[in-house]
Amino acid sequence: MESAEYRNSLIELIYQLADDDFILAYRGSEWLGLAPHIEEDVAFSSISQDLMGHATLYYSLLEELGEGDADKLTHARSPHDFHNAVLLELPNGQGTYLEEPNYDWAFTVVRNYFYTLAKKVRLQSIKENSYESLQQIVKKISVEMSYHLMHWETWFDQLMNSTPEAKRRMTDAINIVLKEMRGVFSYGENGEKIVRLSLIEREEVLIQRWKDILNEKVDFSLDIEMSLDGRNGKHTDHLEGALSTLSEVYQSVPSAEW
C-alpha cells in the first residue's frame, strides 16, 4: 500500500463498487416470483445472487483494509454512509413486494442493462490501472458479468423491437434512467484524487466509452444527468427503506455470528 491518500481513495472507490452491487441486488430480489415468466424468475434470481456475491467480495476487501467487519459494513451503516448511485436505490415501481407490487419491467430492464454495461466499462478501466487485490476481484467478477450483460441486452433489444406499446414503455424508461445515470459514473467529491492516483480513468472518458457502445440503440439527444450524488452520501428516502428491510434480521440479533 502506498500513501494514506492512496489508501483512502482506494477505499472510497471500493465502497462505491460494493454499495452499487449490494443495493441493486436487493432491488433485483424484489422481483422473486413476479418476473414475466418462470424462466426469467430463475435467471433474474441468479443474477441478483451473483451481484450480492460481487458486493461481498468488495466488502471483504474493505475488511482486509481495516474498515471493520464486513457484516457491519453491509448492515450497520446509516444511509448517509452508503456510496451507491441513486439510480440503483430507486424502487422497481409502485407498491412493495408484500403489498400490491405493481413493478415496471421496462424500467428494470433498462436500469439493469445500462448499469451492467457501465459496470463493464468501469471494471475494464480498473483492471488496467488499479490496486492488485482489487484487480483480482474484478477478474473474478468479469466472467459472471458478461452473462449478465448478455441477458439484459437480449431483453432490451427484444422489447425495443416488439410492439409499439413495448417500445413506448421502454423509451419512457430510458428517459427516467438517463436522468440518474451520471451518478453511476460519478466518483463523488474525491474523484480528482481517485483519477490522479490511477485507480480508474476519468468519468468523462468512461461515459463516452459507454455511450459509444449504446449509440446505435439509444438516442443521446438527452444527456445523462443526476439529481443527487450518492457518492457523497446524498440519497432518496427509498434507500432508508431498502436498508431497513435488508438489515432487519441482522439488527434483531446484532451480536450473532452471521
Per-residue pLDDT for 105 more than 80? yes
Per-residue pLDDT for 37 more than 80? yes
* CATH number of the domain encompassing residue 192: 1.20.1260.10
40 found inside a domain: yes
* Whole-number average pLDDT of the chain: 94
Per-residue pLDDT for 209 more than 90? yes
Q: Write out the DSSP string of 132-143.
A: HHHHHHHHHHHH
24 found inside a domain: yes
Q: Find the mean pLDDT for residues 53-69.
A: 97
Question: With 0-12 CB in 10 A as exposed, 13-18 as middle and 19+ as buried, what is 163?
Answer: exposed
Asked if 114 and 185 touch (Cβ cutoff 8 Å), the reply is: no
258 found inside a domain: no
Reading the block at residue 242, the C-alpha cell is 431498502
Taken in order 86, 183, 55, 13, is the CA torsion positive or negative?
negative
Reading the block at residue 122, the C-alpha cell is 468501469
Cα dist from 20 to 83, 88, 119, 120, 185, whole Å: 8, 7, 10, 13, 11
Per-residue pLDDT for 256 more than 80? no
112 found inside a domain: yes
55 found inside a domain: yes
Determine the pLDDT at residue 66.
97
Asked if 30 and 103 touch (Cβ cutoff 8 Å), the reply is: yes
Q: Write out the DSSP string of 102-132.
A: EE-HHHHHHHHHHHHHHHHHHHHHHHHHS-H
How does pLDDT run across 136-187, given as a tens digit for each residue? 999 999 999 999 999 999 999 999 999 999 999 999 999 999 999 999 999 9
Element spanning 95, H or E: strand 93-96
Question: With 0-12 CB in 10 A as exposed, 13-18 as middle and 19+ as buried, what is 107?
Answer: buried
Phi and psi of 96, rounded to 5°? -125, 170
212 found inside a domain: yes
| pLDDT class of 220 with cuts at 50, 70, 90 | confident
Cα dist from 169 to 30, 160, 206, whole Å: 21, 9, 27
Q: Find the mean pLDDT for residues 198-207.
A: 96
Per-residue pLDDT for 258 more than 50? no
Closest CA to 122 of 80, 85, 176: 85
User: How many domains are there within the chain?
Assistant: 1
Domain, as residue range, for 61: 4-252
**At 214, which amino acid appears?**
L
257 found inside a domain: no
Per-residue pLDDT for 132 more than 80? yes
Which residues have C-beta within 8 Å of that of residue 24, sequence separation ≥ 6? Answer: 51, 84, 88, 111, 112, 115
How does pLDDT run across 2-35, given as a tens digit for each residue? 799 999 999 999 999 999 999 999 999 999 999 9
* 103 beta partners: 93
Determine the pLDDT at residue 222.
76
Which residues have C-beta within 8 Å of that of residue 227, sequence separation ≥ 6? Answer: 86, 179, 180
Higher pLDDT, 252 or 7: 7
Reading the block at residue 11, the C-alpha cell is 477505499
The span from the CA of 129 to the CA of 256, in Å, is 39
